[in-house]
Amino acid sequence: MPIGTQRLWRSRMKNGLQTLLIMAGLALVLAVPGYLLAGGLGIVMSLGVVVAGAFAGSWVPARVILADAGAGLLDRHQAPSLYRLLDTLYQRAGLTRPPQLFYAPSPELNAFAVGTRHDGGIAVTEGLLRTLTLRELAGVLAHEVSHLRHGDTRVMSMAAAMTRLTLWLTTVLQLSLLLLVPLILAGELRLPWSLLLVVAFAPSLSTLLQLALSRNREYTADLDAVALTGDPEGLASALAVLERHHGRWLAALFGRHPPAGPDWLRTHPPTEERIRRLMGVEATRDTSLHDHHDDNHHAPPEILERPGAMGRRYWIRRRR
């Protein structure tokens, strides 16, 4: 069935509610060790550190990673067909900033959003540009535009900060328990079994919630990408190519394709399920990108020139 406005908003509301519940679960897991260490003040300080760290780290770490990878900024004259696609996607997504496309000279097949909708862009690797057709790449770019549009980079940064802080606080609790072992052995202090359970399971539970949040945002970005391109088959084809490449890489590394792990240990949903959902959506010709561009969508995009690395100073400086 085609993506109607009502269905799209219903899906966004459902995924938004799931995101709120998962974030509330992460906050609750974090609050328990914070409370055990410093009472109510510990809860407030823990959540305050997470919020401050997430806002400060939502753009710096990604830029530093790109600098370490030797990434550079693709100018419009270097990739005109990709920028024409991004212009249309940004306009449909309601993003007012001019698009930025970053290039990483890596053979891996990867693309990811950098920064936020107000100060960000999309990074693509050399392997992805050489492997996907322009039609498939349009679906991938639309997926990443959706991440920028909904602030997923900041949401995931906050979730990661909660998980890391939960691990640190439980580590402090573990050290505190070790200091209390002589008193426990002497019978002067009862063994706090509830505290031991919190120390044992809080980091794992926080990690599982973070993974669930990542999968939730991927499903939402897939549906939004189809709404932007009007072409579910393009993104589905790209996902199939990425899955085949990943399978060949694992086979080369281990000598065979290892069995897949449980879904709840994945950062991304199973590719088969993502493709099944996409193929259940009909293409909408009135919004398809193919009607707005004359490029050959069945060939890789033309990159006229590869940029050089921009250096650390460029990545640390915020976009004006």
pLDDT tens-digit map of 119-167 = 778 999 999 999 999 999 999 999 999 999 988 888 888 888 889 989 9
Q: What pLDDT is recorded for position 236? A: 92
Residue 260, helix vs strand vs coil? coil
Lowest mean pLDDT among 3-7, 8-12, 15-19, 63-67: 3-7
pLDDT of amino acid 142: 95
DSSP state for residue 113 in the 8-state scheme: E
pLDDT by residue (tens digit) across 24-79? 998 889 888 888 888 888 888 888 887 777 666 655 656 677 777 678 888 898 99
Task: Give per-residue pLDDT as tens, 277-318.
Answer: 888 776 554 555 655 555 566 777 878 788 877 766 666 665
Cα separation of 223 and 16, whole Å? 13
CA dist 10 to 15, 89, 174, Å? 9, 22, 44
At CB < 8 A and 24+ separation, what contacts does 269-273 make? 269/215, 269/218, 269/219, 271/239, 271/240, 271/242, 271/243
Neighbour count for residue 56 (Cβ, 10 Å): 12
pLDDT for residue 210 is more than 60: yes
Tokens 């085609």 label which residue? Answer: 2
pLDDT at 83: 93
**Cβ neighbours for 78, distance < 8 A, ≥ 6 positions apart:** 303, 304, 305, 306, 307
Q: Bin 98: left if φ > 0, else alpha if -120 < ψ < 50, else beta.
A: beta
| Confidence (pTM) | 0.82
| Stronger pLDDT, 16 or 211, i.e. the higher one | 211
Please compute Rg for the chain using Cα positions: 22
Instruction: Say what the pLDDT of residue 254 is.
Output: 46
If residue 271 lies in a helix (H) or strand (E), which one and from where to where? helix 271-279
Burial call 97-109: b when 16+ CB within 10 Å, e when fewer: eebbbbbbebeeb
Q: Which residue has the tokens 């974090």?
A: 30
Are the beta carbons of 210 and 160 closer than 8 angstroms? yes
Residue 318's contacts (CB-CB under 8 Å, 6 or more residues apart) are 59, 119
Predicted confidence at residue 250, as pLDDT, reads 47
List C-alpha distances in Å: 83 to 98, 183, 249: 10, 67, 30
Reading the block at residue 210, the tokens are 């973070």
Averaged pLDDT for residues 221-240 = 91
What is the spatial distance between Cα 19 and Cα 22, in angstroms, rounded to a whole number?
5
Average pLDDT over residues 207-224: 90
Give pLDDT, residue 253. 46
pLDDT at position 313 is 61
Instruction: Please state, in angstroms and rounded to a whole number, the distance separating the CA atoms of residues 292 and 28.
Output: 48
* Torsion (CA) 283, 111, 215, 171 in degrees, nearest 10: -170
The residues annotated as belonging to the active site are 144
Residue 206: pLDDT band (50, 70, 90) is very high
Share of the chain above pLDDT 70, in %: 77
Query: Tell me, what's the pLDDT at 155?
Result: 86
pLDDT in tens, 240-274: 999 888 765 444 444 444 555 566 567 778 888 89
